[in-house]
Amino acid sequence: MFRHLVLIVAIGLNTEVHGSNNFDGPALYQITEPVTHAECPSWDGRNNILYYVDVHAGKMFSYDYTNKEITSITLEGAVSPVVQSKSDPDLFIVGLDRSIVAVKWNREDGNYTSKTLATVSDDHPDCNMNDGKADKEGRIWYGTMDQDADTVNHPNRGKLFRITRDDVSTPEEIISPVNVSNGMAWNKANDKFYYIDSPTQQIAEYDYDNENGEISNRRVAFELKDHDLNASPDGMTIDVDDNLWVALYGGGSVIKVNPTTGELLDRFPIPAESVTSVMWGGPDLDILFVTTSRIGLSDDQIMKQPGAGSVFALTKLGTSGLPVFEADIIDNI
């Protein structure tokens, strides 16, 4: 199934146009110019700012929802993901190559300082950090993958790590091995953890012990092949109704899934073949921000999907997301 959308290809989320178009269904806005490989959107409700990255360019961006201003810094390495810190809205915990790095970014003058907290996967030096989030208690869950995503010749090189205040320099392996550690989400009751290892084409569900940050009892909550979805599940988020929203890399769309029943509830086309991730944001957490990529596309393919690599905003979806958890592993650098 594909939901019909009103596509407004204009840089910026123009609420005046949106408010006057009188369409009842969802609308899609292009809100940034394309980059090569946009990923890992994260919403900071303290300042109404969306953060995202251009992975291989090492760029970290901020999109100010209020004034539509975009600023960026360039880090030395492949950057992914970015998680805000509880102690300071200018402090971020960032994946950089296969290291976990604290970055203090002064968006007023564009300067930043950084400090490497840990480096993982010494046994697989060709791995990079990929996706990651903080949980309710501020622990960080970061996963890795082979930097070329070559899971045929280099299978099982990824891992999922958990980082706490007590083990900042020695993150604990929670799931190993995996291939491409990707999307994750916690349900509203915070007793389920959802996780994607992309090549499996599955969404896994685990029982979640919030007090100890432990997962158990894996089951398959959603199987893409059961719904003829020939794509890789990538980034993922969850809404207030505990439905999952999943980016389909190579599938040109975002899907809405009921993980309890395994139902495919809806599918929303995105004008880019490679959809990388999703994140709820906006003042009411009712805008689904969608990142995309143009990496590996030919000139002809880019002509057909000129918005590939942009960040899009899906609106009027009839639901909203949960607040983003913030990292609580360090106070400053």
What would the mean pLDDT of 7-26 be, rounded to a whole number? 55
Residue 242 marked ligand-binding: no
Evaluate if residue 267 carries a pLDDT over 50: yes
pTM metric for this prediction: 0.94
Domain that holds residue 20: 6-289+306-315
> Cis peptide before 81, with omega less than 30 degrees from 0?
yes
Alpha-carbon distance 152 to 180, whole Å? 12
Q: Out of 22-36, 56-70, 214-228, 295-309, which region has the weakest mean confidence (pLDDT)?
A: 22-36
pLDDT tens per residue across span 68-116 = 999 999 999 999 999 999 999 999 999 999 999 999 999 888 899 999 9
Alpha-carbon distance 271 to 260, whole Å? 29
Q: For tokens 């408010």, what's the residue?
A: 19
pLDDT tens per residue across span 23-59 = 678 999 999 999 999 999 999 999 999 999 999 999 9
Residue 298 within any structural domain of the chain: no
Residue 324 within any structural domain of the chain: no
Residue 197 within any structural domain of the chain: yes
pLDDT tens per residue across span 135-194 = 999 999 999 999 877 777 778 999 999 999 999 999 999 999 999 999 999 999 999 999
Residue 329 within any structural domain of the chain: no
What would the mean pLDDT of 308-328 be, rounded to a whole number? 97
Residue 81 within any structural domain of the chain: yes
Residue 199 within any structural domain of the chain: yes
pLDDT of res. 18: 38
Residue 130 marked ligand-binding: yes
Exposure string of 125-155, with b = 16+ CB inside 10 Å and e = fewer, is eebbbbbbbbbeebbbbbbbbbbebebeebe
Residue 322 within any structural domain of the chain: no
Residue 161 within any structural domain of the chain: yes
Q: For tokens 């393919």, what's the residue?
A: 301
H-helix or E-strand spanning residue 2: none
* Ordered DSSP codes for 143-156: EEEETT--TTTSTT
Q: Which sign does the torsion angle of CA 243, 275, 178, 117 carry?
A: negative
Residue 182 marked ligand-binding: yes
Alpha-carbon distance 128 to 147, whole Å? 5
pLDDT of res. 157: 92
Residue 16 marked ligand-binding: no
pLDDT of res. 234: 98
Active-site residue list: 234
CATH code (residue 149):
2.120.10.30
Q: How many domains does the chain have?
A: 1
pLDDT tens per residue across span 236-261 = 999 999 999 999 999 999 999 999 99
